[in-house]
Chains A and B, each alone.
Chain A
Amino acid sequence: MAARKKMKSNIRYFIPFCIFLVLIVFLWKSLEKNPYQLPSALINKPLPHFNMSTLNGNQRMTENNFLGQVSLLNVWATWCISCRVEHPILLDISDSKAVAIYGLNYKDNSHLADKWLRDYGNPYKENIIDPKGHLGIDLGVYGTPETYIIDKQGVIRYKFVGPISTDDWRNTLLPVIEKLEEEKRT
């Protein structure tokens, strides 16, 4: 009888401790989550329809320009400091010819954008101009720089928010691109 009472009181202390441990695990994991890294609502959806001018003046681009190859769509602007930070890595990627990089010049001034690319280098195959940010809204852009990985069917397969570091490229983006390269174009 006495032994049973003792076991009962031990369990009484044990249960709140277990609940505490479970809570700690959940809270600890949440600390690692970044509320600015929002999952994109457009994953596995095709690029939205658009028809917009490019930085090169006379050309226009639509979502069909993305068919037939795996490509990156990098959203950037001259007023965006983080874009300046990731720019050298974009130049490296473009030099390595691993994947075509298209730019979306978001809510920017074309003259400034032109000068910026001439001063710092141009990693982009082509640049879409989006001065009002309409295509940005259709893509769910909320903070530059953002980079989309688009497959051969023109479907958005991955979205990377924030400046790309060399590690991000090697460990996160490149594996996705290599996997998409192996997919056949339908």
Chain B
Amino acid sequence: MKWFFISWFIALFVQAAFAADIYPFVSPVEQVRFQKLTEQLRCLVCQNQSLADSNAPLASDLRNEVYREMRQGKSDKQILNYLVSRYGNYILFKPLINKATLVLWFGPFVILFGVVLFLVIYLQRRSKRGKSEC
């Protein structure tokens, strides 16, 4: 029983290992906002990780930038634009929806719809034919 509680207690500290640097936040709201922003941004060195997770020096530098911009009162959109104008759209995990990415975003649904439609028509035709052949 004692070990049960001790292991839970230790587990509470594991969470702290994720934050690479410590920033003084004015409020928990600000901290959540920082977390959300840095999770949307890709680390360009370790490209499958977000700025929130990555230990790369560039990620640390860019987290500093996000924090600085937040302190200056910039909006989320302004902060994201600040980084996109320097690093390009790839720094965002979610690709923007524009002419170039329409196929990427909606293509799979269009193909799925087309295939389902084809299947429905095909199966209906087959069942009709089957009835006439009986």
| Interface positions of A (Cβ within 8 A of B) | 35-36, 38-42, 107, 133, 137-140, 142-143
| Interface positions of B (Cβ within 8 A of A) | 44-45, 47, 57-58, 61-62, 65, 84-90
Can you identify 25 A-B contacts, CB atoms within 8 angstroms?
A35-B47, A38-B44, A38-B88, A38-B90, A39-B88, A40-B88, A41-B84, A41-B86, A41-B87, A41-B88, A41-B89, A42-B86, A107-B57, A137-B61, A137-B62, A137-B65, A137-B86, A138-B86, A139-B86, A140-B87, A142-B45, A142-B58, A142-B87, A143-B44, A143-B58
List, in ascending order, chain B residues with CB within 8 A of A140's CB. 86-88
Considering the complex, give the chain A residue whose CB is closest to the CB of B87.
A140
> What is the interface of chain A mostly: helix, strand, loop, or mixed?
loop
Nearest CB of B to A186, in Å: 24
Nearest CB of B to A52, in Å: 16
Q: CB within 8 A of B44: which of A39, A42, A138, A142?
A: A142
List, in ascending order, chain A residues with CB within 8 A of B88's CB. 38-41, 140
List, in ascending order, chain B residues with CB within 8 A of A107's CB. 57
Bound form: Cα–Cα A138–B47 in Å: 20
List, in ascending order, chain B residues with CB within 8 A of A139's CB. 86
Nearest CB of B to A74, in Å: 18
Closest 4 CB pairs of A and B: A41-B88, A142-B44, A140-B86, A140-B87
